[in-house]
Structure 1
Amino acid sequence: MTTRETPDGLDLDAVGAWLARETPGLLGEPLTASLITGGKSNLTYRVTDGSTEVVVRRPPLGHVLATAHDMGREYRVMAALAGTAVPVPVVHAHCDDTDVTGAPFYVMASVPGTPYSRASQLTELGPERTRAIADRLVDTLVDLHAVDPASVGLADFGRPDGYLERQLRRWRKQLDSSRSREISGIDELATQLERQLPTHSAGTIVHGDYRLDNALVDADDRITAVLDWEMSTLGDPLTDVALMLAYQQMSASGGGAVVTDAPLAAGYPSPEDVLQRYAAGSGRDLGAMGFHIGLAFFKLAVILEGIYFRHSQGQTVGGGFDGLGDAVAVLVAEGLEATRV
């Protein structure tokens, strides 16, 4: 199969040959590929034969945190959610043979839509459309948390019992795997969370990194797909709610420039409005949000520190990494504030 330029991290000849065997007729030739910008974790590529376009997703280059970047997990949850109220892309194939392109990967359909990450993008739409999009984001999260895992073949996708305790333990371990410098307050935050750990939590499918720019929105302001399921599992649904609010709080405090400032757009609902809409749609008690928001900031701090570590080792692809190191300190401070409430 003849190919042209190929971006770092993707052996287009090998992937093309593998696709021809696994999904005959999906793509023709020659193939071209480009890195889809914006991702600071898994690498996502647009691959096309000029008429049909698919998306290929693989883990980052270099240092990879244990248990993270599980391509099979992303593939499985999206396949399971097909046909539910949760919009997901059609998934075509999954490959766990690292000889093909150096890492496991999966292939999914290209879905129309915009991942709104910047307030300036939403400002062009106006406050009413911005509010409608944000409200639909919350409603989609309610829909996700309403899916019965067993009914879609995900009964064994995680262990809801003890989820929060394991989350805290996992992210402390991830932090230790990426330590390359002193981070003021981060161990204090972990200790505070351990002290405030709830004794009981509900169990649903959770996305794990839920925010507006991990969704695609079409020209009619409908959410066409929820993306980036690498951290999905069965666990406490309030962790998804808290993460949405943490991203929003980062924007308000000036710490969100490296992730998203979309919640700063006129018309975007306040954190109180987000909580009210989610509570009304889900019927859940939103107590103990201080702990959940603190855990969300701790998780984000560890994730960014891992990316910062890879970037400092020259093992990232693409741009947009400036300021990551400083952002970690902002996240830790926000997390400590949340746990003091």
Structure 2
Amino acid sequence: MPGKQSEEEQVEVGAQQDLGGLTEEELRQGQKAALALEDMMALSAQTLVHAEVDELYKDVRPLGQGRFGRVLLVTHRQKGTPMALKQLPKTSTSLRGFLYEFCVGLSLGAHSSIVTTYGIGIESANSYSFLTEPVLHGDLITFIQPKVGLAEPAVQRCAAQLASALEHIHSHGLVYRDLKPENVLVCDPSCQHVKLTDFGHTRPRGTLLRLAGPPIPYTAPELCAPPPLPEGLPIQPALDAWALGVLLFCLLTGYFPWDQPLEEADPFYGDFLVWQASGEPQDRPQPWFGLTPVADAMLWGLLDPHPRKRQPVSSVRGYLGQSWRQQEGTGEEGDRE
């Protein structure tokens, strides 16, 4: 499954007469979050520790490598405390970009399904770094079996925990915008507990975005359409609901429901729209074989093409404890070609 998110341009919402579909309260919520982050960034810039990382911490092993940086398991040289250190090279990261990601993590505080960011930012000669709690069993992508997914109890645990994490982010006036298996860290070998990480794409509600690259399965269809404002689409938590629906489909089946949410370009997405509009779960398209009507209802809500009709991430809770996969012999089974 592809792991990189399409790049988008970001422009903060300013004073404007057309709110692009947002209510005034939604706009105020996003502006409040943006101002709080600016204040936190100004304070954090003044309290950065100026030192080389290896003077303070001892490398233990790599935990992850991304396009813009790496994550290491380190221990404090004096206290021996294990921590995860995210290191971003100055060649590809500005001070403001570093402070933004660092402060988004700090602003979310403690949540059982979000990686905790510690209040220690470090500026070295060639990099910026910050510390988080260590999560040692890799990311969710390594647990997903192609054309199989995860065991259903693990899927339901992930669904509950990720929905709770996203609700928490939304309650702070933010939209996560980067939900994918690579950003879900696993805390134990049996996938009992997961945590959301990497807040570099998180933005205040109402931030204006334009899709700059080709859409991917997690891209909501409203980002693929002409934006309501010249500067872009004001983002809403519905973007995260769409991505959660795609992720849960992947966990249940081991593949994507479509390659991109464009009816004219992707027949799998076109078939889904026809099926959803029919309201007849028994007429499911081939990629959806093996799921139950309960799973259909949950995913239809999260994957409504109209963002204002889309169910919030919290809707997942109403489907927990019910079967999401058909049992062998109770319905049609099949693999996507």
TM-score by length of 1: 0.44
More strand, by proportion = 2
User: Larger radius of gyration, structure 1 or 2?
Assistant: 2
TM-score by length of 2: 0.45
